[in-house]
Amino acid sequence: MSAERLLLCCLFLQGALALSGNFWHITDLHWDPSYDLGKDPKRVCESSGIRPAAQAGPFGDHACDSPWNLINSSVHAMKDILPNPDFIVWTGDDTPHVPNQNLGEETVLRIIGNLTDIISEVFPGTKVYSALGNHDYHPKSQLPGGPSDMYNKTAEMWKHWLDLESRETFKKGGYYTEKLRNRTGFRMLVLNTNLYYDRNMLTQNDEDPAGQFSWADGVLAQAAASKEKVYIIGHVPPGTFEKKRGKHWYRPQFNTRYLELIQKHHAIIMGQFFGHHHTDAFRMFYDSKDSPISTMFLSPGVTPWETTLPGVKNGANNPGIRIFEYDTQTLLVQDVVTYYLNLTHANAGRDRWEKEYRLTESFQVADASPASMHQVLEGISEDSCRLQQYYRFNSVNFDLSECDEGCRVDHVCATREVDFHRYERCLATKAAGASLSGSLLSIFGMAVSILFVFAQQ
């Protein structure tokens, strides 16, 4: 190859690489400072409640929230795997699952502060977009729709990540917006969706808590006028939990308004990134013609804690962290790469974070655009092998049991229908379809048996 052609080739490769950026998403760290292996197995951690931490080790137990060893390991694994991300998305829930009387405002702020410190120390100079979780307040889940002392103190804690205007907005309601990577044409919208949580008694009678819907609508309208592309991050997602049928997180009126916000501004929204579930999942948004217009990615949590929600089977997960690869010119999400720690192996002395899967490879799609994620949904809806693969990833390779027909319906309907009424119709339709398929199989089986009997005569 001539020197001239070699130079052109190098310039082309440099240009192609420049189009691809990447960022970390971490969520639901839930540090439990009480974790202590020197205690009685039934009292290893406060977050286990009355459940014994039978398999407790240096990196945790599925009955407990994260010990410091796991927190430290996860943040340093991020540094080892991708030391220079474009930015980090951190979507909250930092304190353990313990009663409010075991915490207090000072303890909650200290935990948030310690996690802020380790992220800042391991990634000095890296921009972090941080959102509050429902456990990042005292009392937990009771985040007010107006100014508060805890909003003020958290804004001060994060002042090295927030610009001056963001700090002032955050103090009003726990939300803010900034130019993404300080670049013209790109914007990050950080929401306090804990205001819409059905356990938040402070906002249940508000039409628009903290005026956040009106504010977000204005920000997105201005972004469209300025020809900006937008990422949205938050903690509590709209829609329904895929592991418990009918378990919604938002009050109905807030769920509807969030859905309307996305449908109205979808042309400039290039990705939504949330947590709260601890599981690996996604949610699809469609227009009036059922064409895919937006995807919400729900990243797995660092904590391995098994949910205590009644009726949830195998509700634990292995710790997970996630890289998003994106087009730096359009903000299109190109790929998703999830890394995890097998907790059993880690406690046995093999504490190695490893790649769990790359979305485009595992699901054979071109990218992570809404159209491609719709293909992923169709795959898990129609193909039992794809469903089983998705189900394994959902718990970060913790629950390896079979996802049966009821399980398939729960996952498909929760993923496809963010709207509560459409979700209920999906359940009814899928259940009826499964019943019809079962009946047809029974009739077919009877017909084969009858033919067999006649054939023997």
Task: Examine residue 51 and state whether it is found in any structural domain, yes or no.
Answer: yes
129-133, 168-172, 453-457: which range is least confident on average?
453-457
Domains in the chain, number: 1
36-52 burial: b if 16+ Cβ within 10 Å, else e = eeeeeeeebbbbbeeee
pLDDT on residue 2: 57
CATH code of residue 47: 3.60.21.10
Do 141 and 200 touch, CB atoms closer than 8 A?
Answer: yes
Task: Examine residue 379 and state whether it is found in any structural domain, yes or no.
Answer: yes
Task: Examine residue 449 and state whether it is found in any structural domain, yes or no.
Answer: no
Tokens 């990705």 appear where?
271
Residue predicted with more confidence, 69 or 11? 69
pLDDT on residue 41: 74
- Cα–Cα separations (whole angstroms), residue 7 to 1, 3, 11, 288, 444: 10, 6, 6, 49, 67
Task: Examine residue 427 and state whether it is found in any structural domain, yes or no.
Answer: no
What residue numbers bound the domain in which 185 lies? 20-418
Task: Examine residue 260 and state whether it is found in any structural domain, yes or no.
Answer: yes
pLDDT on residue 433: 57
Mean residue pLDDT of the chain comes to 92
| Cβ-proximal residues to 191 (8 Å cutoff; 6+ apart), any chain | 131, 175, 212, 216, 232, 233, 234
Task: Examine residue 323 and state whether it is found in any structural domain, yes or no.
Answer: yes
Residue predicted with more confidence, 297 or 13? 297
The tens digit of pLDDT for each residue in 266-317 reads: 999 999 999 999 999 999 999 999 999 999 999 999 999 999 999 999 999 9
- Cα–Cα separations (whole angstroms), residue 333 to 76, 187, 271, 367: 25, 15, 7, 7
Percent of the chain with pLDDT over 70: 90
The tens digit of pLDDT for each residue in 167-182 reads: 999 999 999 999 999 9
Residue predicted with more confidence, 432 or 343? 343
Per-residue pLDDT, averaged over 351-366, amounts to 97
Task: Examine residue 437 and state whether it is found in any structural domain, yes or no.
Answer: no
Task: Examine residue 444 and state whether it is found in any structural domain, yes or no.
Answer: no
Binned at pLDDT 50, 70 and 90, residue 437 comes out as: very low
The tens digit of pLDDT for each residue in 45-102 reads: 999 999 999 999 999 999 999 999 999 999 999 999 999 999 999 999 999 999 999 9
Q: pTM of the prediction?
A: 0.92
d(CA 3, CA 117): 49
Binned at pLDDT 50, 70 and 90, residue 445 comes out as: very low
Phi and psi at residue 255, to the nearest 5°: -60, -45
Q: Which two tokens stand for residue 212?
A: 């956040």
Q: Which two tokens stand for residue 188?
A: 């990050």
3-class DSSP state of 177: strand
